[in-house]
Structure 1
Amino acid sequence: MKTIPTLNAAAALCLVAGLAQAESHAQTGNPMVGGAAMFADKTIVENAVNSADHTTLVAAVKAADLVETLSSEGPFTVFAPTNSAFSSLAAGTVETLLEPENKAALQKVLTCHVVSASAMSDAIAGMIADDGGMHPVPTVGGCTLQARMEGSNIVLTDERGRSSTVVVADVMQSNGVIHVVDRVLLPSM
C-alpha cells in the first residue's frame, strides 16, 4: 500500500507564508529578478542578495565596500549587470577586480552603474526623446553613459562604446530603482 506524504505543520506554515509573500509581492507590481521577489520596501542590497542572477554583482559590491552606500537612503538608480554580463568580460577580469589591491578600480566600475536619482524607465525614455534620441547619464562614478531607445528598450552606451540593454526595468526599491542590464558598463581607460 502506498502512502501519500502529508505536510507537517511547519511545512504548511512555510507554504502559507510563502504564498502570502508572493501575493504581497504581486500587489507591488515589481517584476521578479533572478527568480526572487523584489520588494519595494527593501533596499537595493537587501533585494539584490536574493537574485540568483546577481551573485557576482553582490560579491563585487561587498568587495568594493559599497554595501553601506547602496543600503543608504539614496535615492539611486542602479543599472545591475547579471552574472552572464560579468562572465562576458575578458577571462580573468572579474577575478582581478575582486582582488583587494584592485578595490579602487572595482569601485570605479561599479559606481559607473549608479545614478544619484531615482529614474524610472518612462522618465529615461522621456529624457531621451526630449534630447532628440540620445541622453547623457552622469553616474556617481564620474562616467557618462549615453542612453538611447532601440524599439521599446533602453540601451546604454559606456565610455568605451560598448552597449548594454535594460532587460528588466523599474524594479522599485526603498532607496531607488534597479534596471537589470545585460552587459557590464565600463569607464574610459
Structure 2
Amino acid sequence: MKSPLTKLLLALCMVCTASAFAQLPRSTTKTIALNAIDSEQHKILFEAVKVTQMEEILEKAGPFTIFAPSDAAFERFSTEKIKELINSQDKSALKSLLTYHIVAGHLTASRILRAMCRGNGKASFTTIQGKKLLAHMEGFDIVLTDPMGNQARITSADLNLKNGVAHEIDSVILPSQM
C-alpha cells in the first residue's frame, strides 16, 4: 500500500513531466559549449569555461547535464569572488566550481522527477567532480542542495543539446566552502 506522500509525489511527477514535455525544445545541433557562447544570460559561465580550458570537453564529450547558473546567479554569489577565481593563476578552485555543476549523462527534468519519485521525494546525483547534489521538490520547483546547504532552483529546464541537456538555475551551488 502506498503512503499518501508517495501518491502525492507520483501525481506531482506526472503533472510536472507532462508540463516539461510541452515546453521542450525538441532538438538542436548546438553543443553545450556552443550554446554557452551564444547565451546572453550565461556570459560569466562561458568565461569560466574558457579560462579553465573546458571548452573542448564540453564541445566533444558527453552526454552531460549542466546546471547552468545565470549571470544574475553568479552576481548574487559574489561578483568579486568570481573575478578573483577567473583572474587567479591557479584555476583549480574555478574548475572545481564548474565541474560541480555538471553531471555525466542526459538528465532531463522528467528523469530527475522519476528519480525523486523512486527516492520518496529525494534524489542524489554525482557530479563529474565526484561530489553529490541532492534534488527535491518545493512546490512545483526542482531544488538542488549542495553539501553546504546552499540551494538552487531550476528556473528553465530541458534545453536539449547535441551532447547533453542544460537546466538554468538561480544560484551557484558549491562543492565546499569557498
Same fold (TM over 0.5): yes
Partner of 1:63: 51
Q: C-alpha displacement at 1:143, in angstroms?
A: 1.8
Match of 1:174 among 162, 166, 170: 162
Q: Distance in 1 between matches of 2:140 and 2:52?
A: 33
| Aligned counterpart, 1:157 | 145
Q: Return the alpha-carbon distance in structure 1 between the equivalents of residues 83 and 92 of structure 2.
A: 14
Please tell me whether residue 109 in structure 1 is matched to residue 97 in structure 2: yes
SS in 2 for 1:90: helix
1:187 aligns with 2:168: no
1:30 aligns with 2:25: yes
Which amino acid in 2 is paired with 1:140? I
- Structure 1 residue 61 displacement after superposition: 0.4
Higher RCO (C-alpha 8 Å, min separation 6): 2
The runs of 4+ residues in structure 1 deviating greater than 2 Å are: none
TM score, norm. by length of structure 2: 0.83
How far off its partner does 1:29 sit?
4.4
Match in the other structure for 2:78:
90
Distance (Å, rounded) in 1 between the aligned partners of 2:60 and 2:103 = 14
Displacement of 1:63 in angstroms is: 0.8
Deviation at 1:153, TM superposition (A): 1.4
Distance 2:104 2:60 in 1: 12
- How large is the Cα RMSD of the aligned pairs? 1.6
Equivalent position of 1:12 in the other structure: none
Aligned partners of 1:188, 1:29: CA distance in 2, in Å? 33
Alignment size in residue pairs = 155
Matched, 1:80 2:65: no
Q: Which residue of 1 aligns with 2:131?
A: 143
Q: Which structure has the greater CA radius of gyration?
A: 1
Instruction: State the identity %.
Output: 36
Unaligned segments of structure 2, at least 5 residues: 1-22
Between structures 1 and 2, the one with greater helix share: 2
Q: Deviations over 1:123-171 (max 9, x none)?
A: 1011011101111111001221100011221110011100000000000
Using structure 1 for the length normalisation, give the TM-score: 0.78
